Amino acid sequence: MTRMAAKDAREKFGDTLNRVTENGDKIVLQRRGKDVAVLLPIAEWHKLQEELDSLQDRLDAAEATRRFADPKEKPIPYEKARKSMGLR
């Protein structure tokens, strides 16, 4: 992964964007030597987003399993849950 000063990326934005879109480069943008953002091809972003969604689904399922297994855990009535989320 390439690192680039944000100022340089801004000055050469068209070239920087072409590196990402045409060459598939991933570029870490830096300010004062610290990483602040990443430019990556949109296909990579979609892949990461799908992986994050999948991970969140697995974490939610594990939490639900844990709660259903805990005899001290009290179920929340449907109407109360809807109201607490601002749904009618």
- Per-residue pLDDT tens for 1-50? 899 999 999 999 999 999 999 999 999 999 999 999 999 999 999 999 99
CB atoms within 10 A of CB 46: 10
Give this prediction's pTM: 0.66
Query: Residue 83 is encoded by which pair of tokens?
Result: 């109201």
Q: Which residue has the tokens 């590196």?
A: 19
User: CB of 8 within 8 A of CB of 31?
Assistant: no
Q: Which residues contact 46 (CB under 8 A, 6 or more apart)?
A: none
- Name the nearest CA neighbour of 25 among 5, 2, 4, 49: 2
Residues of the chain with CATH 3.40.1620: 2-40
Architecture per CATH, domain 2-40, reads as 3-Layer(aba) Sandwich (3.40)
Reported as a single tens digit per residue, the pLDDT across 60-76 is: 999 989 888 888 888 88
